[in-house]
């Protein structure tokens, strides 16, 4: 017998769909698990779409029973798979997606991903579908939320790498430039720089002064520092570029570059990421069943909040300039 539930507005919700889109983030699986089990507890089917919006257009589905999502809470990545689809950005692609949803009987959809994915969710909501977004990106740059799924895990991955690099930097009296992810946002780089004791940080939001950076590096050497750590967000400059410029100011020091790359996306999610993913996933289902659409679940401190998908997809969370100043002070 098909489970059904009516929203306060009278629509029958037979099934809630879920997909993960864009770059993978640790904790996505915890959100999928929460969505499936919350839907089941409310008398609804849960349907997963594989490979993001591509699978939504192609009808690549999996029934998410309670046991189907067992054992995925602490796994990194996303067991549904993810992708970036140019076709979905077209009207034809979105019509294909809506046709799939109608064919498989899905009345509400949860989209888990970053700003591009949330923009796709907003497009479906504009076409009349009940859609709720859940923010998941290691960049932590989505508007309307203090935390995104995956950020805390990525931060701890970067910190672990920095501690290891610091050991060898001190042993050999070196400058190390650590390049981290963040094409348009310095949230990860800045937070890692403060928490990891970096001497300098280079982020897209604040133009960096190479002469001042060179002066700080040279002064640290004169003051007896055994190493210098510089964290660079990839969107501000490449690690090689920063290393080349710094070398001119400390020609007697060996300047090395470490590009962390995609290892920042992997690994088991931290407890914090599992917690917020579970809370957001369950809340997304509740919002759909309450008749809400075109919104994203976000956090305000430790509390959940909702913002419009259009706001979430178009606004970047701003860095804290006081944190940038603190990094400079703590590096003395």
Residues annotated catalytic, as ranges: 139
With b for 16 or more beta-carbon neighbours within 10 A and e for fewer, the 163-172 pattern comes to eebbeebeee
Strands (E), the chain: 5-6, 12-13, 15-20, 45-49, 61-63, 108-113, 130-135, 174-180, 200-202, 228-233, 254-259, 295-300, 303-308
Q: Is the CB of residue 82 less than 8 Å from the CB of residue 52?
A: yes
CB of 109 within 8 A of CB of 124?
yes
Q: How many Å apart are CA 31 and CA 54, to the nearest integer? A: 20
Cβ-based neighbour number of residue 250 at 10 Å: 16
């Amino acid at each position: 017998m098909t489970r059904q539930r009516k929203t306060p507005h009278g629509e029958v919700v037979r099934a809630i769909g879920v997909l993960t889109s864009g770059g993978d983030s640790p904790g996505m699986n915890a959100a999928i698990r929460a969505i499936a089990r919350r839907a089941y507890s409310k008398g609804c089917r849960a349907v997963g779409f594989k490979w993001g919006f591509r699978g939504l257009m192609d009808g690549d589905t999996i029934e998410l029973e309670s046991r189907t999502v067992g054992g995925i809470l602490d796994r990194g990545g996303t067991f549904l798979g993810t992708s970036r689809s140019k076709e979905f950005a077209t009207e034809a692609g979105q019509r294909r997606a809506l046709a799939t949803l109608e064919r498989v009987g899905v009345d509400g959809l949860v989209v888990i991903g970053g700003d591009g994915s949330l923009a796709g969710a907003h497009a479906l909501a504009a076409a009349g579908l009940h859609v709720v977004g859940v923010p998941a990106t290691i960049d932590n740059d989505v508007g309307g939320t203090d935390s995104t799924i995956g950020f805390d895990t990525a931060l701890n991955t970067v910190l672990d790498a920095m501690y290891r690099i610091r050991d060898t930097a001190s042993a050999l009296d070196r400058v190390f430039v650590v390049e981290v992810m963040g094409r348009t946002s310095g949230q990860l780089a800045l937070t890692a720089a403060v928490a990891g004791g970096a001497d300098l940080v280079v982020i897209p939001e604040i133009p960096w002064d190479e002469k001042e950076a060179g002066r700080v590096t040279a002064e640290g050497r004169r003051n007896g520092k055994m190493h210098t750590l510089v964290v660079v967000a990839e969107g501000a400059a490449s690690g090689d570029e920063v290393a080349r410029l710094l070398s001119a100011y400390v020609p007697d020091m060996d300047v090395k570059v470490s590009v962390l790359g995609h290892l920042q996306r992997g690994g088991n999610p931290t407890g914090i990421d599992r917690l917020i993913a579970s809370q957001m996933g369950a809340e997304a289902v509740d919002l759909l069943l309450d008749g809400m659409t075109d919104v994203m679940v976000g956090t305000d401190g430790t509390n959940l909040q909702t913002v419009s998908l259009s706001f979430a997809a178009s606004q970047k969370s701003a860095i804290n300039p006081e944190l940038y100043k603190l990094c400079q002070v703590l590096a003395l």
